[in-house]
Structure 1
Amino acid sequence: MTEGPKIDVKQPRTKRGEKTMRKLLDAATAEFGERGFHEASVSSITTRAGIALGSFYTYFDSKDALFRALIHDLSGQIRSDASAAIAEETDPLTIEREALTAFLRFAAEHKEIYRIIDEAEFVDPEIYRYHYTTIAQRITGRLRKAAEDGKFVESAGEIEAWAVMGMNVFLGLRFAIWREEGDPAIDQIAQAANALIAKGLARAFSKRPPKV
């Protein structure tokens, strides 16, 4: 597993503090999403959050620290949504379909995430890599378990996981961020992507020989 990057956050000790931090993270999502990292300011973020400027430094040392924490938070939200969507599922194809559906819905509701994550490549490459690597690790784990259970081809692993994640990311870009009138419903998009996974990974469809 990839070791997580250090997140410079002063953890709140009270429920009120937790609410204040949540306000800051939500305000930062809107500010960075609209203006980008370099144009965003701490004062604008605190104004959006409706808190005093001095309260910001109770939790974060700088705008950079907040941005880093925000990427970590967004990654956690994606993980939580996917985990909830697949919690009761056992069929590997259904798991991948529901995980993608959850991501597409999240992206449609939080369109600013693409700008924020893309900007992280240049603002903080370490957290950018962490974001995608941890997602790929979760998918890898699911694919390997499916392979062990005899549901997916024995070769299913990290390469296939990155390919699945790449497909999901660009489906989100096209059909959540750049969505147009008349586009298929999210469930239909996830089903179409799932058919590609079935033909490429499911043992029943694959003609590739097993590993020796």
Structure 2
Amino acid sequence: MTRPESTALADEPSISPQTGRPLTKRGEATRRKLLEAAEVVFAEAGYHEASIVKITERAGIGLGTFYLYFDSKQAIFEDLVTDLNRRVRHAMAEEMAGATNRLAAERAGFAGFFRFTAEHPALYRVVREAEFVSPETLRLHYTRIVEGYESGLRAAQAAGEVDDALDPAVSAWALMGMGELIGMRFLLWERDATGEPPAQMPTEIFDAMMQFIDNALAARPERNG
């Protein structure tokens, strides 16, 4: 995947819903505990069966404290989608930091994406539930990824690294969809003999996917020359 725009990776200070002020370091740590607990609870129970009580119990934080950081169950759900989005883009960008060309960047970005989703399978369920719980947040999740992806493809076309006959917007959405569905099939659904999911994307699946992407994106001298 293409490296997301650096501005999209910047952390914005969290604001307390009660005071309207930025959180302290201690407050940020408490908020992080709540988000980590919410990630597990929403993934295991689903949005409608999840509750603030279950989240605070898992986080080991008092029920009253929850409302210093979030107004409602929907508020923490939406913040969780945003947080997962930020972290998966950061994982992709870190992997892509040393890429020297577009195809190398694609390989590195997808490696970062699959590594993150193997460690955080909740991403799939939480994002899909957002379609019904908070459609605006779902759209924000995908568009934040695609915006950087599309601009990267355009830059690669200008540099002669990607076929300039491709539509960057369509290509960005297609590649993102491919990564999500292949991750779902071979990370989320796959189980070993003990019933555990794989710790990483199988090498042969990853290589086959990248061969497909390389063939799809590679510059065509007869058209680009």
TM-score greater than 0.5 by the shorter chain: yes
Give SS of 1:192's match: helix
Query: Quick check: 1:72–1:131 contact (8 Å CA) kept in 2?
Result: yes
Choose the corresponding residue for 1:84, options 64, 81, 94: 94
Give SS of 1:37's match: coil
> Is 1:105 aligned to 2:115, yes or no?
yes
Query: What residue in structure 1 maps to residue 148 of structure 2?
Result: 138
Q: Percent identity?
A: 42
Instruction: Map Cα deviations across residues 155-210 of structure 1 (whole Å, 9 max, x no partner).
Output: 34111111111110011101111124498954443322221122111114x76x45
Query: Quick check: 2:146–2:176 contact (8 Å CA) kept in 1?
Result: yes
| One-letter identity of the residue aligned with 1:66 | I
Choose the corresponding residue for 2:83, options 60, 69, 73: 73
Query: What residue in structure 1 maps to residue 137 of structure 2?
Result: 127
Choose the corresponding residue for 1:179, options 190, 197, 211: 190
Query: Quick check: 1:105–1:176 contact (8 Å CA) kept in 2?
Result: no
- In 2, the alpha carbon distance for the partners of 1:179 and 1:95 equals 27
Query: Quick check: 2:37–2:58 contact (8 Å CA) kept in 1?
Result: yes
For structure 2, the residue ranges without an aligned partner over 5 or more in a row are 9-13
Query: Quick check: 1:9–1:69 contact (8 Å CA) kept in 2?
Result: no
- In 1, the alpha carbon distance for the partners of 2:63 and 2:78 equals 19
Choose the corresponding residue for 2:171, options 160, 165, 171: 160
For structure 1, the residue ranges without an aligned partner over 5 or more in a row are none
Give SS of 1:83's match: helix
Query: What residue in structure 1 maps to residue 157 of structure 2?
Result: 147
Query: What residue in structure 2 maps to residue 53 of structure 1?
Result: 63
Query: What residue in structure 1 maps to residue 11 of structure 2?
Result: none
State the superposition RMSD in angstroms: 2.4
Which aligned segments of 4 or more residues in structure 1 are displaced greater than 6 angstroms? none
Q: Cα offset for 1:105?
A: 1.3
Distance change >3 Å, CA 132–CA 185, structure 1 → 2:
closer
- In 2, the alpha carbon distance for the partners of 1:18 and 1:141 equals 32
Query: What residue in structure 2 maps to residue 170 of structure 1?
Result: 181
- In 1, the alpha carbon distance for the partners of 2:165 and 2:137 equals 29
Give SS of 1:38's match: coil
Choose the corresponding residue for 1:15, options 1, 25, 28: 25
Q: Number of paired residues?
A: 204
